Structure 1
Amino acid sequence: MGDWHTLFTPCGAVQAWLAKPEGEARGAVVVAHEIYGLLPHYQHLCERLAQAGFIALAPAYFDLIEPGLVLGTDRVGSNRGRATVDRLGLDCAVDVTETAADFLADLGHKVGVVGFSWGGTVALLANTRLGLPAVSYYATRNLPFLNEPAGAPLMFHFGALDVAIPPEAIEQHRQKQPQAQVFVYPGADHAFNRDPDPPWQPEAAALAWQRSLEFFTEHLS
């Protein structure tokens, strides 16, 4: 089981969920959540990363706006979540990610980032601006930043049914980040990894997770 730690970032203090493997870690991963805040799903992802041999740290980015804020994944939550991330801003999100990465690096490990939706763009910027290996899941806000050169290995996951990220947007990822791995999952929609919500697509989620673990094993070990 994990526990809470306080991170003191340039934008303010946030809580972060930390999970460690039982044996020696093969690397460390910062987990960036989507617009609903640090749902229990992300704590569970940290536990899964720990089971796979990685130290995992998931900051509660929304603590900078309202400590402890976690939203429902309905329309009301979506609207409030979009307003919250707009107030927070991506610059502060990158600062929080950098603080989390420094915390993990101080433990003696190479660090990567995995992010989902809004957090997927945070992961992209952690790659281009902080030089961290990153996996970005179904990020809808990537396009303005695709011209930033990658600073480390990079992987993208998309659902073929995700109307928020149409095929032409995915193609821009391939063209502007040609060195990156880009995967598209038939039958998968936005948030296909968010177990147990209805967008969850088990087959796509399992395959994307396997590829993500292989990515971190290669670049962090």
Structure 2
Amino acid sequence: MTITLTAADGHTLQAYTAGAEDAERGIVVLQEIFGVNSHIRDVCDFYASKGYRVIAPALFDRIEPGVEMGYTGPDIERGKDFKAKVSYEEALKDIEAAAAALSSQKKIGVVGFCWGGTLTWLAACRSGAFSAASCWYGAGIAELRDEKARCPVQMHFGEKDKSIPPADVEAIRNAQPNVDVCVYDADHGFGCDQRGSYDPVASELARTRTVEFFKANL
């Protein structure tokens, strides 16, 4: 189901929702650079199957409504172009609008992938809406590692990920000793079964850890 959200600055955006409206707890799912595509909807449906009310805001609606891409080379370049046009501040407004749509839930978590992984870290630090955050291979986290989280945070990285070298992961660990940093024998995007870098073993382990993390903190 798709709903319309309104951010604090008046911008309206679409969001995919799943799960029972009267669920006790909610989760905001943050997209990669490919929009709210079938992979992100699948992620939402998975967490809905675990009993959460789930919402994925379309963060590229500020540039072009209804952006939904695959994982080809041209898609990657187009996605990078869209990402460059949305500021962290704008994205956070849209993320908080998604959290506000879950106001009837007692606690809210946030999970994001790729660009959304970085945004998940920022949401954990700059928003008071979330009680737990799980960041999957967010390449921008290293440069934002000195931010202060306002809720428990878990992170997932692939040691073969050229966009997030081991030195970056170690810098994050050193700056954030209270963050649960998990590293897998996998590449960037290992959690997406539509990508060539998909790793079912790493994906299942990271997903299991995320589910347990949310269960403990939401």
TM-score over 0.5 (shorter chain): yes
Give 1:1-221 correspondences, 5 Å limit. Answer: 3-11=1-9, 12-21=11-20, 25-104=23-102, 106-131=103-128, 132=130, 133-186=132-185, 188-220=186-218
- Aligned amino acid, residue 200 of structure 2: P
State the TM-score, normalizing by the size of structure 1.
Answer: 0.93
State the distance in 2 between where 1:108 and 1:48 align: 18
What is the TM-score when the length of structure 2 is the normalising length? 0.95
- C-alpha distance after superposition, 1:91-142 (max 9, x if no partner): 11111111111111x2132111000010001100000001322110001111
Looking at structure 2, the residues matched to 137 and 166 of structure 1 have their Cα atoms a distance apart, in angstroms, of 14
Identical-residue share of aligned pairs (%): 37
Deviation of 1:193 after TM superposition, in Å, equals 0.5
Contiguous gaps of at least 5 residues in structure 1 = none
Unaligned runs of 5+ in 2: none
CA distance in 2 between partners of 1:103 and 1:197 (Å): 31
Matched to 1:196, the amino acid is Q
Structure 2 residue identity aligned to 1:20: G
How many angstroms apart in 1 are the aligned matches of 2:36 and 2:188? 18
Distance 1:219 1:128 in 2: 16
Q: Secondary structure at the match of 2:83?
A: helix
Structure 1 segments (4+ residues) deviating >3 Å = none
Q: 1:21 touches 1:52 (CA, 8 Å); kept in 2? A: no
Q: In structure 1, what is the Cα distance between the partners aligned to 2:116 and 2:18?
A: 19
**Matched residue count:** 215
C-alpha deviation, 1:168, in angstroms: 0.5
Q: Is the 8 A contact 1:16 1:60 kept in 2?
A: yes
Deviation of the 1:82 alpha carbon: 1.1
CA deviations on 1:134-181 (whole Å, 9 max, x unpaired) are 110001111221111111100000011111111100001111111000
- Between the aligned partners of 1:179 and 1:207, the Cα distance in structure 2 is 21
1:88 partner SS: coil
